[in-house]
């Protein structure tokens, strides 16, 4: 961020007018004009910018996020602001009418030499918008895009307005900057002089050494130290050339000048001699290879030999032993693009051919080669007319394409009469009824639509197509569009190509562990009971945090409460407790719990980027979605009380109802779920990885770096940061009362200091214990207790909220406002100990505190309640609702009950 002096100096250097300075100062001092959302398939992003020191929004991780990375690592970009105040664009519509629209650009950028607005668009979208609004978006001859209305708005201020297209994005650079981001932090440790010297000497003696070999050749240097030198440019790597996540493709030099010199020489075609490494040989049909400096193509891989096609059309068969010897000697290498002489058309014909085509072509070539050599084949020749036809095609392909072999490729794909046989009017009627009668929300069956088609054709006196032809026409239509028209957008989503949204330009699962994590919730298929009373408490909610790269479950949390900010905070706490860090990017859905200020503040504090996937499109979070299914089928469905049978609820009797057989408690289930997640699932081979998640995680850390400087100490400071605060984030210290949080006053002896009275201090409260809160007084967090601690201790925020709502309902007064006071709320809670809603919530909260105790390590698995103090005898109301005897209807005296401490 620019200081006031730097800003004034920049204005003088750029010659900005007073009016322009006023426009820019308004943008600099204003928050974003809107909050971006995930809709229409885009993944919105909230990125913690180190350059700006605030959260920067991106409307799409395919486009606008690339603009953030570009500005974040561009030394000429001084400041940039997302979603600046709207500006008015005036232009002529396609109809010729003059229109004016309020437009919010994506960014306002302040550079060392200029300033102005930027709008980022997908290239395909710009092409479409050009047809709709030709006066607003214009494509120049060099392929760049302009917005004349935006330029007209910016010109009077001496600013620019630029349209940036996704076609301009260098995705290799984007991927590398994301990979190196941790090593560009100020807290990244420096590399020792001995390691620095060893790495530099290794690169100097072998310029252009592959990064993968450098990682292996200097064992005393860790991958973190090598990536640190690359990020700080003490070792040079062209970050635009190859992704660092593929180290064998990356070349390392001592400095940029040396790297550019070798790059120029490499462009002349001498890269093999420079780097001294042969290209890999991919033994597959159609693969290109170099043999003695000449280009060949593998046309067949048999059981005993490999057939090679020369540039001039000859075919040679090499036994496997001979082929492997030539590869080992370096005489036969893989060819890269541009190193083979076969032209593009020959390449396309060979790529289209199937293995069956190559077998037939090789048989034909043997006949043609024998005829050209004047020899007779053993076993007889095909008919002379067939041989003459093959010879003719050989010579024709040799003359036109320079390769006679492709002339012998079978043309079976051209066989048959592929012309339409229906009359044009019949074909038009067929398409009309499929589009306008079948593909509608009425969802008519095919037979009824076909009947209507028959009547229409007979009325028009045209040929009626057969039912088979009609069904084929229906099945040829795009499945996704057809289902969407008949059943709606969400149903059509299921027919989309799997993963297409995430597999756009960068790996959808990241390049290393802890790069991308997915958080999601699900309700498990099992009924649980209270560990104290045996009462059925329903099905629990599970929250998973999964690592996208290794598919490893980083953290698991279990609770009875529906998804909320508490679940989000607890899953992050568990992740730091187990691994000491958080993922660099967190992918979440559009749930309100992920939009809470507590969750986003915690991510911003520890520099985690949040990506929000579109609603009703679960494939964006398929990592967690699949884990939910795996957890249910491989673990939960094997337990007593699982709810599989409830899918056919009409067949469920009391004898088989899961509620009658429930025996698992939340605490014990959580212990076993953690054991399954961290020990069983973690060590089983994953079909998508070919290894276990734990092995993939370990190998990914070894190659991608452990990044120890991103570790988060699991201390009191972190635990307090996972606690929520009130709406304002602060509370006023009132003398003799303390601070008021959620209608409850909390006191600490630190408030006796006269200097802090009547001041506002940051506050936090424990969502599972309404009797305790924390306030930040004179540079430290102090513990505060409620004015009615005996009433509120151990009660969760959710229970207090339920009681507040019930109290408001009971005191409705149509004209007056009813104020909730702590004393009234405490008395109400005490009088409703046996109320069904609150009692059930208390039992659930007690179970949740057991889980929290396991999470923080206070309780050991297997000793859940053995170490707890003895509970007072349960009242008849706690034994079961509706089961009390008529002689014992008096409510329990809560003043005489023993107050048990929390674990």
The residue with tokens 């699991």 is 714
pLDDT-wise least confident of 206-210, 784-788, 816-820, 848-852: 816-820
Distances (CA, A) of 897 to 94, 791, 825: 78, 11, 19
Q: Do 571 and 546 touch, CB atoms closer than 8 A?
A: no
Token code pair at residue 289 = 């290879």
Rounded CA-CA distance 74/72 in Å is: 6
Residue 861: its pLDDT value, please? 44
Other Cβ atoms within 10 Å of 367 Cβ, number:
17
pLDDT score for 304: 79
Q: Are strands 744-747 and 739-741 parallel, antiparallel or unpaired?
A: antiparallel
Mean pLDDT score, 705-721: 88
Tokens of 668: 């014990």
The model's pLDDT over 744-770, given as tens digits with 9 standing for 90+, comes to 889 999 999 889 999 999 998 887 777
Query: Is residue 837 scored above 70 in pLDDT?
Result: no
The whole-angstrom separation of Cα 628 and Cα 630 is 5
Instruction: Give the residue-averaged pLDDT of 360-381.
Output: 77
268 pLDDT tier (thresholds 50, 70, 90): very low
CB hemisphere CA count around 508 (13 angstroms) = 15
**Per-residue pLDDT at 859:** 53
CA neighbor of 607 nearest in space, from 585, 588, 622, 623: 585
Which among 154, 159, 121 is positioned nearest to 138, based on CA atoms?
A: 121
Yes or no: say if 731 and 774 are a contact pair by the CB < 8 Å rule.
no
Cα distance between residue 750 and residue 784, in whole Å: 9
Of the candidate ranges 244-248, 725-729, 800-804, the one whose mean pLDDT is the lowest: 800-804
Does residue 669 register a pLDDT over 50? yes
What six digits make up the tokens of 882? 């509706």
Tally Cβ neighbours within 10 Å of residue 787: 17
Residue 850 has pLDDT above 60, yes or no: yes
Q: Does residue 873 surpass a pLDDT of 70?
A: no
Cβ atoms of 99 and 160 within 8 Å: the answer is: no
Under 8 Å between Cβ of 134 and 145: no
Chain CA centroid to CA 770, Å: 36
Closest to 267 measured CA to CA, from 214, 330, 171, 336? 336
Summarize pLDDT for 197-223 with one digit per residue, the tens. 999 988 988 888 999 999 988 888 899
505 or 226, which is more confident: 226
Q: How many CB atoms lie within 10 A of CB 106?
A: 24
Is 213 exposed, middle or buried, given 0-12, 13-18 or 19+ CB atoms closer than 10 A?
A: middle
**Residue ranges in 62-137 assigned as alpha helix (H):** 64-72, 123-132
The pLDDT of residue 833 is above 70: no
**pLDDT for 670:** 87
What is the distance between the alpha carbons of residues 137 and 564, in angstroms, rounded to a whole number? 44
- Strands 160-165 and 115-121, by their bridges, are parallel
| Percentage of the chain modeled with pLDDT above 90 | 35
DSSP, collapsed to helix, strand or coil, labels residue 882 as: coil
Name which of 589, 504, 598, 489 is nearest 38 in CA terms.
Answer: 589
Mean pLDDT of 774-803: 78
Give the Cα separation of 685 and 145 in Å (integer). 49
Would the pLDDT of 157 be above 90? yes
**In a 3-state reduction of DSSP, which class is residue 628?**
helix
Conformation bin of residue 510: beta by default, left when phi > 0, alpha when psi is -120 to 50: left
What's the angle, vertex CA 203, arms to CA 236 and CA 273, rounded to 5?
95
Tell me what pLDDT residue 343 has: 59
Residue 182 CB neighbours (<10 A): 23
CB 456 within 8 A of CB 462: no
Give the model confidence (pLDDT) of 550-589 as tens digits: 999 999 988 888 888 888 988 998 899 899 999 999 999 8
Average pLDDT over all residues of the chain: 81
- Between residues 813 and 840, the one the model is more confident about: 840
Residue 516 has pLDDT above 60, yes or no: yes
Question: What integer is the mean pLDDT of 296-302?
Answer: 79
pLDDT of residue 185: 86
**Which element (helix H / strand E) includes 487?**
helix 479-487
Determine the length of the chain: 903
Is 731 strand, coil or helix? strand
Model pLDDT, residue 100: 92
Distance from C-alpha of 20 to C-alpha of 534, rounded to nearest angstrom = 71
Mean pLDDT along residues 522-528: 91
Q: How many helices (H) and strands (E) in the chain?
A: 32, 30
Q: Report the C-alpha dihedral over residues 722, 727, 733, 739, rounded to 10 degrees.
A: -70
Residue 465: pLDDT over 80: yes
Which of 207-216, 237-246, 376-385, 565-574 is least confident? 376-385
Alpha-helical segments (H) within 705-780: 716-721
In the predicted model, is pLDDT for residue 874 greater than 90? no
* Mean pLDDT on 540-551: 92
pLDDT at 164: 94
> Residue 818's pLDDT is what?
55
| Candidate from 20-29, 64-73, 136-145, 837-846 with smallest mean pLDDT | 837-846
Work out the percent of the chain whose per-residue pLDDT is above 70. 81
CA-nearest of 581, 518, 548, 504 to 182 is 581
Q: Each residue of 31-71: pLDDT tens digit?
A: 999 998 877 668 899 999 999 999 999 998 888 999 999 99
Of the candidates 36, 239, 21, 240, which has an alpha carbon nearest to the alpha carbon of residue 120?
A: 36
Model pLDDT for residues 624-659, shown as the tens digit of each residue: 777 888 888 888 888 888 888 888 888 888 888 888
Distances (CA, A) of 902 to 159, 763, 848, 855, 868: 62, 22, 12, 15, 9
Question: What's the pLDDT at 793?
Answer: 74
If pLDDT is split at 50, 70 and 90, which confidence band does 816 have?
very low
User: What's the pLDDT score for residue 782?
Assistant: 92
**Could you tell me the two tokens for 666?**
């939340």
**Residues 599-616: tens digit of each pLDDT:** 888 899 899 999 998 765
């Amino acid at each position: 961020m620019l200081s006031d002096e730097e800003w004034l100096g920049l204005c003088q250097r750029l010659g900005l007018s007073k009016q322009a300075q006023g426009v820019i100062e308004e943008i600099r001092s204003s928050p974003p004009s809107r909050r971006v959302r995930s809709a229409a398939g885009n993944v919105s992003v909230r990125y913690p910018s180190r350059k700006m020191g605030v959260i920067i929004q991106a409307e799409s991780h395919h486009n606008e996020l690339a603009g953030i990375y570009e500005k974040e690592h561009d030394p000429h970009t001084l400041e940039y602001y997302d979603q600046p105040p709207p500006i008015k664009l005036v232009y002529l519509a396609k109809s010729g009418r003059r229109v004016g629209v309020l437009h919010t650009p994506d960014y306002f950028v302040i550079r060392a030499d200029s300033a102005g607005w930027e709008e980022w668009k997908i290239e395909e979208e710009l092409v479409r918008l050009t047809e709709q609004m030709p006066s607003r978006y214009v494509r120049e001859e060099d392929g760049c895009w302009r917005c004349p209305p935006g330029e007209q708005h910016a010109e009077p201020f001496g600013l620019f307005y630029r349209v940036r297209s996704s076609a301009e994005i260098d995705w290799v650079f984007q991927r590398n900057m994301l990979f190196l981001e941790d090593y560009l932090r100020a807290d990244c440790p420096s590399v020792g002089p001995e390691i620095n010297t060893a790495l530099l000497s290794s690169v100097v003696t072998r310029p252009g050494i592959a990064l993968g070999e450098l990682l292996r050749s200097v064992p005393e240097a860790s991958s973190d130290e090598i990536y640190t030198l690359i990020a700080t440019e003490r070792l040079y790597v062209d970050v635009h050339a190859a992704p660092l996540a593929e180290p064998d493709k990356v070349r390392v030099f001592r400095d940029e000048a040396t790297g550019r010199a070798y790059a120029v020489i490499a462009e002349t075609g001498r890269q093999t001699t420079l780097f001294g490494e042969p290209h890999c040989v991919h033994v597959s049909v159609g693969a290109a290879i170099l043999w003695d400096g000449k280009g060949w193509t593998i046309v067949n891989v048999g059981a005993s030999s490999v057939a090679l096609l020369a540039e001039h059309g000859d075919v040679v068969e090499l036994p496997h032993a001979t082929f492997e010897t030539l590869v080992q000697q370096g005489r036969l290498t893989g060819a890269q693009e541009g190193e083979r002489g076969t032209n593009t058309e020959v390449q396309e014909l060979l790529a289209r051919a199937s293995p069956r085509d190559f077998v037939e072509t090789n048989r034909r070539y043997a006949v043609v080669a024998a005829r050209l050599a004047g020899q007779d084949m053993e076993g007889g020749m095909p008919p002379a007319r067939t041989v003459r036809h093959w010879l003719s095609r050989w010579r024709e392909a040799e003359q036109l394409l320079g390769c006679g072999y492709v002339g012998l490729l079978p043309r079976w794909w051209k066989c048959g009469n592929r012309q339409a046989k229906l009359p044009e009017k019949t074909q038009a009627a067929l398409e009309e009824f499929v589009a306008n009668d079948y593909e509608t929300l009425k969802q008519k069956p095919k037979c009824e639509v076909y009947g209507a088609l028959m009547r229409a054709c007979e009325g028009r006196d045209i040929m009626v197509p057969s039912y088979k032809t009609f069904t084929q026409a229906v099945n040829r239509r795009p499945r996704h569009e057809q289902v969407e028209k008949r059943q709606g957008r969400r149903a059509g989503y299921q027919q989309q190509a799997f993963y297409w949204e995430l597999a756009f330009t960068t790996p959808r699962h990241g390049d290393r562990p802890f790069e991308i994590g997915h958080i999601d919730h699900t309700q498990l298929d099992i009924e649980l009971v209270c560990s104290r009373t045996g009462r059925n408490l329903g099905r629990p909610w599970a929250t998973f945090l999964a690592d996208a790269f290794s598919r490893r479950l980083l953290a698991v949390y279990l609770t009875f409460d529906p998804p909320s900010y508490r679940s989000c905070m607890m899953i992050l706490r568990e992740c730091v407790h187990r691994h000491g860090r958080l993922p660099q990017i967190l992918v979440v859905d559009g749930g309100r719990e992920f939009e809470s200020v507590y969750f986003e503040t915690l991510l911003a504090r520890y520099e985690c980027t949040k990506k929000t996937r579109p609603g009703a499109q679960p494939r964006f979070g398929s990592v967690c979605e699949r884990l939910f299914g795996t957890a249910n089928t491989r673990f939960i469905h094997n337990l007593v009380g699982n709810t599989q049978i409830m899918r056919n609820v009409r067949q469920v009797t009391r004898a088989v109802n899961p509620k009658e057989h429930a025996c698992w408690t939340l605490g014990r289930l959580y212990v076993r779920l953690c054991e399954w997640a961290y020990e069983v699932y973690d060590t089983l081979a994953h079909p998508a990885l070919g290894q276990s998640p734990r092995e993939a995680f370990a190998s990914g850390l070894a190659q991608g770096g452990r990044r120890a400087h991103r570790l988060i100490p699991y201390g009191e400071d972190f635990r307090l940061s996972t606690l929520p605060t009130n709406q304002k984030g602060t509370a006023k210290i009132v003398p003799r009362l303390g601070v008021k949080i959620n209608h409850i006053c909390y006191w600490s002896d630190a408030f006796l200091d006269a200097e802090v009275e009547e001041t506002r201090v940051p506050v936090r409260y424990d969502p599972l214990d309404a009797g305790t809160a924390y306030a930040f007084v004179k540079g430290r967090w102090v513990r505060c207790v409620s004015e009615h601690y005996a009433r509120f201790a151990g009660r969760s925020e959710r229970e207090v909220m339920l009681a507040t709502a019930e109290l408001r309902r009971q005191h409705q007064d149509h004209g007056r406002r009813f104020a909730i006071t702590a004393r009234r709320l405490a008395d109400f809670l005490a009088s409703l100990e046996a109320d069904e809603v609150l009692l059930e919530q208390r039992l659930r909260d007690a179970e949740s505190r057991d889980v929290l105790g396991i999470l923080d390590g206070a309780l050991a698995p297997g000793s859940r309640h053995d170490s707890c103090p003895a509970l007072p005898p349960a009242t008849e109301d706690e034994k079961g609702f509706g089961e009390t005897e008529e002689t014992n209807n008096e409510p329990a005296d809560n003043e005489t009950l023993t107050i048990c401490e929390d674990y």
